[in-house]
Each structure stands twice: as structure tokens, then as C-alpha cells.
Structure 1
Amino acid sequence: MPKRKRINEDSRRRRRQDSIAALIASQGEEKWVASETAEIEAAPAPARQAAAPQQEATKAPAVEPKVAAVEPKVAAV
């Protein structure tokens, strides 16, 4: 791949990540998750099935550390 093309792809990827981060910061995570869910529900059935495991995988780690943080406090009491 030519160096110039690789640089362009990298900068596009970085701009996309920056815009997603700005969207999350400006709208709040709940609104962003709602828009992502709406996009998945509007997609055809095969695309929904492919996207569903990704959502579960991203949501599960966010919940588990909170539960793990609460358990030691309960055990200490």
C-alpha cells in the first residue's frame, strides 16, 4: 500500500474516532447508546444478529467491575 494512501486511511480513522468521542461527550452516553440501538433495530435481520453479540460484549465488562467493587465492601462488613 502506498505510504500516502496509508496516511490518509489512518487520518480518516482517527477523525472518525474523534467524532465519535465528541458525539458521546456532547450527547451523553445514554443518547449515543440509544442511537446505536436504533440503527441496529433498523438494520435487516442478519445485520442485527451480527451486531447483537458485539453490544453484549461491550456492555458486560462495564457491569462486572461495578459488581466486583461492591462485593469486597459487603464481605468486609
Structure 2
Amino acid sequence: MAGTYKLILPRIDVAMESGRISEWVKKEGDRVSKDELVAIVETEKAAIEIRSEVDGVLVKILHNVGEEVNVGEPIAEIKTD
């Protein structure tokens, strides 16, 4: 069923509260597959890969490179097939 999926910043460890977008690997309008790399986020401890959890099209990037994002906050929207 088609819809819009919100890709959120996950909590990688118990101390993690936020992360900074360091790179968008995909851009708006790109097709993404489940488990495909979409963005890279830097935390205090490491750089983490953010992967899509669904197949679809990346329709909206909600935070620019360099922006700080809280855990659980949406970073992008993917329109599912």
C-alpha cells in the first residue's frame, strides 16, 4: 500500500541524544530500496549509516548537512510504492 514513511534518527546507544547530518548519499527524487544507504550522521562517538527501511522514492529531506537532529526526529520522507 502506498503512503509516506518518515525516516527517523535512531538511538544507537543509550547515551545518544542527537546527531549531525554529515552527508546525504541520496537526493530528493531518488529511488531507494530497503536497507539502502540514504545518509550519514555523526554522533559524539562515531559516524553512523542511516538506511531506508522501505522501498520508495525520497521525496523530502527535512534537515540539511550540518544540522543537529534529536533522536527520534524525522530526517526525511519516503513515498512508498
Query: Hey, which of these two has a bigger chunk of helix by percent?
Result: 1
TM-score in terms of structure 2 length = 0.20
Query: Hey, which of these two has a bigger chunk of strand by percent?
Result: 2
TM-score in terms of structure 1 length = 0.20
Greater radius of gyration (CA):
1
